[in-house]
A and B are shown apart, each in its own frame.
Chain A
């Protein structure tokens, strides 16, 4: 059953066609990697899925109904940068989604209820290997740790789909390999639908169950937008093989 359905989607910025007649349906529990050269509109596509930008023509259905006009809790995101809140400690960053849900007026919980929530947040931090950093502020973390925190924060809100916008592109190769393992594990545990945009093809194949390639037919022709040139299913067997290398 498809969770996201993109139909005849066009995106045109000042007479420049960015995306041309895109059709894509994403089934639940899949991990879709979208790759393509820079400027091909893959990030634009992701931003549409999080309701940050809107398509010129066409439609996006989320669980059978039109995509809401603003970001919602169902669609979690992790950006390349600025994904966590600099003024909150690591623990408070993960606690925030729970607090926002539980207290509509203050968005902050005090007292014994907070204690239980803290336990939930700590479990999540332990899961991503950040428990020992719980009292630090994001600025004190390395890039890889910040992205782990961003993942933990997004996951604790229990979205139906997780949108990743080049989440690991700013990390060095070693850190990136570690966080790939973590991402894989989290995805297998939660079986959450994931859409990830990346320009790293090996990353796309290592993590995804399906790789979509987005490309403009002619890079400098503004009248022809990017389209899906390849749609490759990734079999679990090849996945473990590439993962082993």
Chain B
């Protein structure tokens, strides 16, 4: 049999999927054990128990300065910013994307501008945001918006253009006005595609969030990581990174579930 025709079974597939995680975990444990044998005070690769102790402190002990449980207050702060940023970004992109995709005049007016704007490196704009909006919440949320909206907008414009011309003609022959066609034909077909765009934007959104928090914040997951870095607190940084990864993963799954439950027609229509 050729290699390209060999398929693992059901159990085999599961084992294969888990394998890289197990290998990485084992490699870490081995490396950590080796370093601690050479130097019991090693901070670079903390043992599992060191990380567990640190995280128990972060999650279940009140911080003396602020009176908060840091892991949870950091998580709440970061997720609030992320959701605010992505919601604003999704809303703007949806409205602009559909209008521009449908109306030829708007397309001529805005497509070159959006294309140019999306080339601006968002992090390079961050100092401008700090100067204009201060170092509060607004500039962090704005950074996420600037970082993700142009991509989502361009994506939605393309998706609207992908609607077969026959469909739009048909809607007109059924008596639909521009507004009705937008509302009944284009918007419902674009909602699941907006979720696709959102899923793709999650990565960049986290990137901008953590960057903004690293530079100026009083709380947040990114803030914490960059704060404890000064003390080489790998026992906090590594669990935080895993926690952030897990959150991003859960966001992605949630969006995928919403898509398949709210738009049952979408999977079938996409495959046609």
A79 CA / B164 CA spacing, docked (Å): 11
Which residues on B sit within 8 Å (CB–CB) of A77? 169-170, 173
A142 CA / B198 CA spacing, docked (Å): 33
A244 CA / B169 CA spacing, docked (Å): 36
A residues 66-102 touching B (CB-CB < 8 Å): 70-73, 75-77, 79, 81-89, 96-97, 99-101
| Binding stretch for chain A, among B40-48, B94-102, B135-143, B182-190 | B182-190
By beta carbon, the residue of chain B nearest A84 is B170
Is the CB–CB distance between B166 and A73 below 8 Å?
no
Is the CB–CB distance between A71 and B184 below 8 Å?
no
Secondary structure call for the B interface: helix
Contact of B167 with A by CB under 8 A: yes
Is the CB–CB distance between B269 and A73 below 8 Å?
no
Is the CB–CB distance between B175 and A100 below 8 Å?
yes
A residues 32-85 touching B (CB-CB < 8 Å): 50, 52, 70-73, 75-77, 79, 81-85
Given contacts A87-B269, A107-B184, whether A82 and B167 have CB atoms under 8 Å apart is: yes
Contact of B272 with A by CB under 8 A: yes
Which residues on B sit within 8 Å (CB–CB) of A154? 170, 173-174
Which residues on A sit within 8 Å (CB–CB) of B173? 50, 71-73, 75-77, 154, 157, 159
Contact of B176 with A by CB under 8 A: yes
Is the CB–CB distance between B269 and A153 below 8 Å?
no
| Binding stretch for chain A, among B10-18, B107-115, B202-210, B260-268 | B260-268
Contact of A175 with B by CB under 8 A: no
Given contacts A73-B175, A96-B174, A107-B180, whether A85 and B169 have CB atoms under 8 Å apart is: no
A88 CA / B184 CA spacing, docked (Å): 9
A154 CA / B169 CA spacing, docked (Å): 12
Contact of A187 with B by CB under 8 A: no
A residues 155-183 touching B (CB-CB < 8 Å): 157, 159
Is the CB–CB distance between A70 and B189 below 8 Å?
no
Is the CB–CB distance between B169 and A86 below 8 Å?
no
Which residues on B sit within 8 Å (CB–CB) of A229? none
Is the CB–CB distance between A86 and B170 below 8 Å?
no
A138 CA / B270 CA spacing, docked (Å): 12
Q: Which of B171, B174, B177, B185 has the most CB of A within 10 A?
A: B174
Give min CB distance, A221 to chain B, whole Å: 30
Is the CB–CB distance between B180 and A137 below 8 Å?
no
A154 CA / B189 CA spacing, docked (Å): 21
Which residues on B sit within 8 Å (CB–CB) of A101? 175
Give min CB distance, B171 to chain A, whole Å: 8
By beta carbon, the residue of chain B nearest A76 is B173
Give the 7 A-B residue pairs with the shortest CB-CB distance, closest first. A139-B268, A86-B269, A71-B172, A107-B180, A82-B164, A73-B175, A137-B265
A/B interface sample: 28 pairs, CB < 8 A = A71-B172, A72-B175, A73-B173, A73-B175, A75-B173, A82-B166, A84-B170, A85-B167, A85-B189, A86-B189, A86-B269, A87-B269, A96-B174, A96-B184, A97-B175, A100-B175, A100-B180, A104-B180, A107-B176, A107-B183, A137-B264, A137-B268, A139-B265, A139-B268, A139-B269, A153-B170, A154-B173, A159-B173
Residues of B within 8 A of A (CB): 164-167, 169-177, 179-180, 183-185, 188-189, 263-266, 268-269, 271-272
Residues of A within 8 A of B (CB): 50, 52, 70-73, 75-77, 79, 81-89, 96-97, 99-101, 104-108, 137-140, 153-154, 157, 159
